[in-house]
Structure 1
Amino acid sequence: MRRFFHAVLATTLCLVTAAHASAQTYPSKPIKLVVPYPPGGGSDSVGRLFAQRLSEKIGQPVIVENISGAGGSVGAALVAKAAPDGYTLLMGNTGPNAISPNLLKNVPYDVDKDFTPISVVASQPLFVLVNKTSPYKTFADLVAAGKQEPGKLNFSSSGTGGLSHLAGELISSTTGAKFVHVPYKGGAPAMLAILSGDVVFHTPSAIDGVQQVAGGKMRGLVVTSAKRWPATPDIPTVIEAGYPDLEINFWYALFAPANLPAPVREKLSATTRLVLDDPATKKAFDTLGSVATPTTSQELRALVQSDEKRYAKVIAASGVEKQ
C-alpha cells in the first residue's frame, strides 16, 4: 500500500512539474484566437487587430478562427471546453459573455465558472440617434415626449435581445418614459427605419453613430459614455443629461478556458497590457471606433458579473422570452 501511495505521489509530482515547466515556456507554438462571429464584422476587426499585435509581442503566430452561431455562444462554448493551456483563446464580448446567458435557454457554458478572464481589450459606447429633421433636439426633449405620450414613440434595434434593444429598454426604465421596441434584422435596416420615419430613435455603437452623424442625416442626442466621444465633441454624455445609470459600454475582452495555469494567465495579462498601451495600437483601435481598454483579470471578472446581472433585469422586465 505504501509503495502504491509513493508511486501515485511521484506520478502526481511529475505531472505538476511538467505542467509548471510547460507554463514557464509558454508560448512554444501558435495560439488560436476564436472570434465567435463571421468574418467582416466589428468583433472580427477587433480580433484580427489584436491577434496581429499580440503575435508581435508574444513571439508566436496568433491565428484567428471565426466560429459563429447562436449570438456568439457556439464559439464561446468551444473555448470553454478547450484544454486550459493558453493555446485556445476567446475574443468575447458583451453578447456571449453577459447577455446570452440570460437570453438563451441552453447556453452550453457557465460564464463565471468556465472561463479565465484575462483583460478587456477594447470598448465603445452607444449613441442615441434621431432623424436630423426630428423635433427632438435634445435627450430631454425625447424623454419628455416619451412621458407625455407613453407607448406612442418607438425605437429600432438590430434584433431582439441585442444591445441596441436592451439599451432602448434601459432608456425607458431609467427615465420613466415609455418607448416601444421595433426589432429589425440587422443594424442597417434599423438605421434606415429612422431615415424613413418608421421609428423615432436607434442606439447603434459608436463607430456607426459617428458615421451617421458625420453623414448629416442624423442627430446624436447623447452618447452613453462617461466622457464625450472624441469624434463628436458636441454631443453630450448621458451623465451630462442627468442619467448616470445609462452609461453603457459594449466591450470586447480576452478569455481563456477555466483552470488556466497562473504563469500562463500572468504572461497573457502582461503581454495584453503591453499591446494595448502601445500608442500605435491605440490609434488603430480609434479607427475601429473603439478605445483600447486594458484591465486586470479581476476587473474583467467583476465587469462580466455586473453586466450579466444588469441585463438579466432588463431582459426580465422587457418580457423577452428565452430563445
Structure 2
Amino acid sequence: MQSDLSWSRRSFLAAIGAGACAQAVGAAESPAPGAMKWIVGYPAGGGADFVTRVLAAQLGSQMKQDIEVVNMPGKGGTLAAGAAARAAADGRNLFTADNGILVYNASLFKTLPYDPDKDFALIGFMARTPLLLVVSPKSGFTSFEQILKASKAGRTPPLQYASPGEGSPHHLAMELLKSQTGLVATHVPYRGTGMALPDVVSGKVPMLVVDLAGGLVPIKSAAVVPVLSMSGRRVTQLPDMPTVPYDLTGPLNAYATVGLVAPAATPMPMQERLNAELQTAMRVPEVSRKLNDAGWETAAADATLLRAYMAAERAIWPALIRNRGITVAQ
C-alpha cells in the first residue's frame, strides 16, 4: 500500500532491479539434512498457498530437497506465524508471511503468539496482487461514482460490501477508501473469497473487495463486474477498469503481498543460500508465467525489498486501524 514513502510502481520496479543485481555473499550453507517444511497460514487453494506451492516445487528441484507445504489456517495467520517462529532455525523451516503477519496483526490483535519484528529473518520478496472493487451484476452499479453517490444518499439500510475476512488487506483497503472518499458502506466479513462470492453474485451483498489472483476467473466469466482498481494503476489483465479517483484525500495503492521468512535465529549463510535460491526460482520463466497468469506481480529480489515494502506499509496501516477502531476477535 502506498504511503508517505511513495511506494509506487516506479519504486517497486526500481527495487526489483536493485534486488535482481544483488548476490548472496559469504559461504553457501545448506539446510540440515531431511525434508524442509514450508508453512502457510491460510487454506489450501488460496492465493498465498498457490504462490507457495509453485515456488516450493521449483526450490525443491533446485536444492534437491523435499519441501512439504503445510497449511495452518486460523486467526488471520497468527497460529501459523506462532508455529513458524518457534520452529527450529536450521534452514529447513520456511514461512509465507503476508501484510497481515508482518504489518497489520500487531495493531489488530491484543496479543500475538509471535513478534513480527524479532521472530523472523526476512529471506525475500515473492509476489503481490492488486486489490479490486467488484460488484454484483444485479446491483445496478457500473462505476464507483454511482456507488459513491448512492451511498451518500442516506440509503436505509446502508450499502454493504464483502471481504475475505476481518482485518484482511481487502477489508483495510476498503476502509481506507471509505475514509478518503466519504463512501458509506457496512462491512460483511466472510471466511475467504470463495465463501463471499455466491452472495455477491446473487446480489445479496452488492460489493466485494477481491484480489486479482482470486477475482480474475469470476471477472472473466462476468459473474462479477470490476469497477475500481485500488492499486493506483491500470491492471494489465483488465485494461478498461478505472483506477482510484483523483479526488482522494490521500494515497491508495492496495495490494495483498507475500514474502518468504524463516525463524530469526537461522544462520546468515543459510539465509543467504535461501535468498539466492529464491531469486533463481523467481527468474525461471515457467515460474513467473504461472504466477503472472494467476494475477501476481513477481520480483526476484533480496530481503531489502521485502523490508522496504513492509516499512512503507507500516507507515499507513496501523494508524488507519487505530483511527477507525478496527479489531479482530482473539
TM-score by length of 2: 0.82
Q: Is 2:229–2:241's contact at 8 Å kept on the other side of the alignment?
A: yes
Matched, 1:206 2:225: no
Structure 1 residue matching 2:240: 3-state secondary structure = coil
Rounded Cα–Cα distance in structure 2 between residues aligned with 1:217 and 1:261 = 48
SS at match of 1:168: helix
| Matched letter for residue 137 of structure 2 | K
Name the stretch that deviates more: 45-54 or 302-311: 302-311
Q: Match for 1:114: what amino acid? A: D
Alignment match, 1:11: none
5 Å-filtered alignment, 1:208-227, equals 208-227=214-233
Aligned partner of 2:146 in structure 1 is: 141
Structure 2 residue matching 1:246: 3-state secondary structure:
coil
Q: Does the CA contact (< 8 Å) of 1:38 and 1:66 recur in 2?
A: yes
User: 1:26 maps to what in 2?
Assistant: 30
From 186, 190, 193, give the equivalent of 2:192. 186
% identity of equivalent residues: 31
Which residue in the other structure is 1:160 paired with? 166
Any idea what SS the aligned residue of 1:159 has? coil
Distance 1:227 1:321, change over 3 A: closer
Q: Which amino acid aligns with 1:169?
A: E
The aligned residue for residue 5 of structure 1 is none
Moved over 4 A (4+): 240-244
Q: 2:121 aligns with which of 116, 124, 127?
A: 116
Question: 2 CA distance for matches of 1:114 and 1:191?
Answer: 35
Match of 2:319 in 1: 313
The offset of 1:309, in angstroms, is 4.8
Once the two structures are TM-superposed, the CA of residue 226 in structure 1 deviates from its matched residue by 4.2
Q: How far apart are residue 28 of structure 1 and its match?
A: 5.1
Equivalent-residue separation in structure 2 for 1:64 and 1:23 (angstroms): 27
Distance 1:215 1:241 in 2: 29
Q: Residue 32 of structure 2 contacts residue 90 of structure 2 at CA under 8 Å; is this kept in 1?
A: no
Mean Cα deviation higher: 108-117 or 224-233: 224-233
SS at match of 1:231: coil
| 1:174 has 2:186 as partner | no
CA distance in 1, matches of 2:284, 2:256: 22
Task: Return 142-151 or 74-83, whichever deviates more.
Answer: 142-151
Bigger mean CA offset, 242-251 vs 107-116: 242-251
Separation in 2, partners of 1:290, 1:230: 11
Shift of 1:121: 1.0
Number of residue pairs matched by the alignment: 301
Q: Deviations over 1:200-227 (max 9, x none)?
A: 3111111332222212232211222244
**What does residue 56 of structure 1 align with?**
61
1:106 partner SS: coil
Note the 1:247-266 alignment, pairs <5 A.
Answer: 247-266=253-272
In structure 2, distance between residues paired with 1:83 and 1:131 = 47
Equivalence for 2:105: 100
Q: CA deviation at 1:69?
A: 2.7
Say which one has the larger Rg: 1
Alignment of 1:260-299 (within 5 A): 260-299=266-305
**In structure 2, distance between residues paired with 1:220 and 1:274:** 35
User: What amino acid is aligned across from residue 77 of structure 2 in structure 1?
Assistant: G
Partner residue of 2:96? 91
AA of the residue aligned to 2:53: R
Aligned to 1:230: 236
Residue ranges of structure 1 left out of the alignment (5+ in a row): 1-21
Give the direction of change, closer, same or farther, for the CA distance of 1:245–1:36 in structure 2 (3 Å limit). Answer: same
Could you say if the C-alpha distance between residues 102 and 225 of structure 1 is closer, same or farther in structure 2, counting changes exceeding 3 Å? same
* TM-superposition CA deviations, 1:128-154 (whole Å, max 9, x none): 111234443322332333344488322
Q: Is the 8 A contact 1:28 1:60 kept in 2?
A: no
Which of the pair has the greater relative contact order for Cα pairs under 8 Å at 6+ separation?
2
Question: For the residues of structure 1 that align with 2:126 and 2:327, how far apart are their CA atoms?
Answer: 31
Q: Residue type matched to 2:31 in 1?
A: P
Q: Is the 8 A contact 1:126 1:209 kept in 2?
A: no
Counterpart-to-counterpart distance in 2, 1:25 and 1:181: 48
On the 8 A contact 1:156/1:199 being kept in 2, the answer is: yes
Q: Pick closer, same or farther for the CA change 1:23–1:258 going to 2, 3 Å.
A: farther
1:301 aligns with 2:303: no
SS of 1:123's partner is: strand
Question: More deviation in 190-199 or 42-51?
Answer: 190-199
| 1:257-287 deviation per Cα after TM superposition (whole angstroms, max 9, x unaligned) | 1133222222222221111122111111134
| Aligned partners of 1:139 and 1:241 also within 8 Å | no
CA 1:220–1:294: 2 relative to 1, 3 Å: same
